[in-house]
Structure 1
Amino acid sequence: MLWRYQIKQSLSRRGNCWDNSPMERFFRSLKTEWVPVTGYRSFVEARQEIIRYIIGYYSQLRPHHYNGGLTPNESERRYWNNYKTVANLS
């Protein structure tokens, strides 16, 4: 099926459990915070709800311990506001 949809399978290095930990944590949050126990009624509903989780809740509203209690969007906004360029191209 991966070949049919031209998806390249990616595996972590053998014995390195840290390669995939951010995605594992994300999917754990998605499943425990958003996906209904009974599942979704259709693929379309699942797609819409998961997009709503990622764009609306996970990125904009949900505080993240790793970001000091900030949402990902707020953490990134603060990073870019405080970012100092190394070179001036003018």
Structure 2
Amino acid sequence: NCWDNAVMERFFRSYKTEWMPKNGYQHFNEAKHDVLNYILKHYNTKRGHSYNNYMTPTAAEMAA
């Protein structure tokens, strides 16, 4: 099914264009820490999603 990877592809596209340093990371632990910060502090709490009427995932979950 061609839609199987659509969600992850969109997530990584957003991560790479909005958050990831242009020159990448020096160490794995630096990347791991930054990815967690992106997901927990930006993607879920500050970034609106069209699927949720431009509410953040956290706000949409609390409204349900």
Query: Would you say same fold, with TM above 0.5?
Result: yes
Larger Rg: 1
TM-score (norm 2): 0.93
Percent of matched pairs sharing the same residue = 50
Q: Confirm or deny that 1:31 pairs with 2:16.
A: yes
In structure 2, what is the equivalent of residue 21 of structure 1? 6
**For 1:18 and 1:41, how far apart are their aligned partners in 2?**
33
1:40-78 Cα deviation digits (max 9, x unpaired): 121111111100000000000111111111000000110
Q: TM-score, normalised by structure 1?
A: 0.68
List structure 1 segments (4+ residues) > 3 angstroms apart after TM superposition.
none
Matched letter for residue 30 of structure 1: Y
Q: Which has the higher helix share?
A: 2
Q: Which structure has the higher relative contact order (CA within 8 Å, separation 6+)?
A: 2
Whole-angstrom CA distance in 2 between matches of 1:20 and 1:50 = 19
- List runs of 5+ in structure 2 lacking aligned partners: none
| Number of residue-to-residue matches in the alignment | 64
The alpha carbon displacement at 1:31 in A equals: 0.8
- Unaligned stretches of 5+ residues in structure 1: 1-15, 80-90
- Output the CA distance in 2 between the equivalents of 1:20 and 1:57: 22
